[in-house]
Amino acid sequence: MDVLVSLCKRRGFIFQSSEIYGGTGAAWDYGPLGVELKNNIKRAWWRDNIHLRPDMVGLDASILMHPQVWKASGHLDHFTDPMVDCKACQHRFRADKVEEQSWIHYCPATKGNKFEVPAGEPCKHCNVRRSLCPDCGKGELTTPRQFNLMFKTFMGPVEEDAAVTYLRPETAQGIFVNFDNVLQSMRLKLPFGIAQIGKAFRNEITPGNFIFRTREFEQMEIEFFVNPLETIDGRPADEVWHERWIESRFAWYQRYGMRRENLRIREHEKDELAHYAKRTVDIEYQFPIGWSELEGVANRTDFDLKQHAQFSGKSLTYFDEERKQHVVPYVIEPSAGADRSLLAFLADAYREEEVRGERRVVLRFHPDLAPVKIAVLPLLKKRPEIVTTAHDLRATLARRWVTVYDDTAAIGRLYRRQDEVGTPYCVTVDVQTVGDSAKGESGDRCVTIRERDSMEQIRVPIAELPGIFERLLGDGAWADVARSYPPARG
Ligand code: ATP
């Protein structure tokens, strides 16, 4: 994880929030390349789950909502984590996560020497298990208390109880309270889904592990409404749709390059299920911190719509024309984190390779996710014709794809820098491209394209570049395109 954090800072992906004031461990800022990467992930999710499907529509609900929303949803009463405090150092922990961190131990069998013992293991000298504070190794922990994770604030200029509201801890409730608006305005028929991407806030007791757990983060959520009276092949429709969504979301991460062996499905045990959930699975990723949740896919039954109908006094039903009756739809909720997805895509793309005795770091991003698609590089920055041609090329290609120009180092170094941020293609303008007017030699108006993963190079006419990138950054494979052009010298 440290390697990723350092790369992210050095190359402008992610910075610690308010770093010049010492930073906060609970919030992070996306830099120039990070914002491109995150936008690309969100765009791919939106396109695949909304634009390409006939049964989905989008929504962008506000972060501040009527406080009753959180009473109805159960968040005010139940959105809590058990918290314990150290009586000596006052550090605070989530009671259910204390065993997941390494612990400090002053071992009596070694005259009180201090050791850091791995998470969940006993001390190998005295065989004792952790009972005190894992951070200081001295203080006792208090008994667990429930701590509500919602951020409280005031709506309007008066700080009084009547004005209390909350920053939303999930985007989902914005969808439920708009169910009828969307249903009526879009004339939808079940089954259909409403999707939303937006910020959520949770006052996590122990944020950490970089962007894995923060207090401000972005969610990509779908609420897919199903008629509970319907069956598909003799099975309840909600159960079948739940399986379809698990499959679809599991495949989505692989479509954008995540390796199958780093993904798994974890079924929630009965005692872990939320009281309203019929079934929940987590899609887990093998993060540098171990297997952890990337996305949850839950069958929330009719709980949310019924709760909001009861608290608001408004009907939130669907009229089933065929059966001539009102039904409260069941809902399947695939709920993903944009930041966690970004961390997983980043970890999966990261490779260290040995090339001709040199170490190269490369981010093997799927081209759709790569923050920069093309880098235009001049071989010699002292030759004005080369530089001008390269700038012109950048300007032309940038109309269609994110394209950068860089001349701040020798070509080998420039390639390595682009590899390190995952740019799939570099275009190099050299002497042969422009010729030498002093000697009366005209150039061949061809440039070199270098592919990031294979490091292969081909020589192509400038005039054909837009068409070539249309293929390469569309569905075309490098090998198919490269076959039509001569190789360039490496
Ligand atoms: P966890 O068990 O990790 O706290 P959760 O089960 O509470 O997660 P959900 O409520 O299911 O999470 O939220 C859906 C998704 O939102 C998660 O799968 C994750 O990707 C993202 N998410 C939730 N909490 C955070 C957080 N504090 N920081 C970053 N992403 C988060």
For residue range 376-420, what is the model confidence (pLDDT) as tens digits?
999 998 889 999 999 999 999 999 999 999 999 999 999 999 999
Q: What stretch of H or E contains 297?
A: strand 290-299
Report CA(98)–ligand 1 centroid distance (Å): 18
Report CA(65)–ligand 1 centroid distance (Å): 20
Residue of the nearest CA to atom 3 in ligand 1? Answer: 293
Query: Alpha-carbon distance 220 to 338, whole Å?
Result: 6
Alpha helices in 61-165, H assignment, sequence order: 67-73, 75-78
The predicted pLDDT at position 88 comes to: 94
Query: Alpha-carbon distance 295 to 249, whole Å?
Result: 9
* CB-based contacts of 107, cutoff 8 Å, min separation 6: 113, 114, 115, 123, 125, 126, 128
Q: What stretch of H or E contains 325?
A: strand 325-327
The predicted pLDDT at position 81 comes to: 87
φ, ψ of residue 103 in degrees (nearest 5)? -135, 145
Task: Find out whether the peptide bond into 191 is cis, omega within 30 degrees of 0.
Answer: yes
Planar angle of CA 153, 277, 52, nearest 5 degrees:
85
219 in contact with ligand 1, CB cutoff 6 A = yes
The predicted pLDDT at position 490 comes to: 58
Ligand 1, atom nearest to 298 Cα: 11
Query: Alpha-carbon distance 214 to 278, whole Å?
Result: 28
218 in contact with ligand 1, CB cutoff 6 A = no
Other C-beta atoms closer than 10 Å to the C-beta of 143 total 8
Residue of the nearest CA to atom 10 in ligand 1? Answer: 170
Encoding tokens for residue 487?
Answer: 């190789």
Beta strands at 325-327 and 318-320: parallel, antiparallel or unpaired = antiparallel
- pTM for this structure? 0.91
Report CA(219)–ligand 1 centroid distance (Å): 8
Query: Alpha-carbon distance 130 to 144, whole Å?
Result: 16
100 in contact with ligand 1, CB cutoff 6 A = no
336 in contact with ligand 1, CB cutoff 6 A = yes
The predicted pLDDT at position 244 comes to: 98
The predicted pLDDT at position 468 comes to: 96
Q: If you ran DSSP here, which 8-state letter would residue 196 be given?
A: E
Q: If you ran DSSP here, which 8-state letter would residue 208 be given?
A: B
405 in contact with ligand 1, CB cutoff 6 A = no
Burial tier of 325 (Cβ tally within 10 Å: 0-12, 13-18, 19+): exposed
Planar angle of CA 396, 43, 393, nearest 5 degrees:
10
Which of 173, 293, 299 maximizes ligand 1 atoms within 8 Å of its Cβ, making it the mutation to test the pocket? 293
The predicted pLDDT at position 414 comes to: 95
293 in contact with ligand 1, CB cutoff 6 A = yes
Q: Which amino acid is at 490?
A: G
Residues of the chain with confidence (pLDDT) below 70: 490
Query: Alpha-carbon distance 308 to 249, whole Å?
Result: 28
The predicted pLDDT at position 356 comes to: 86
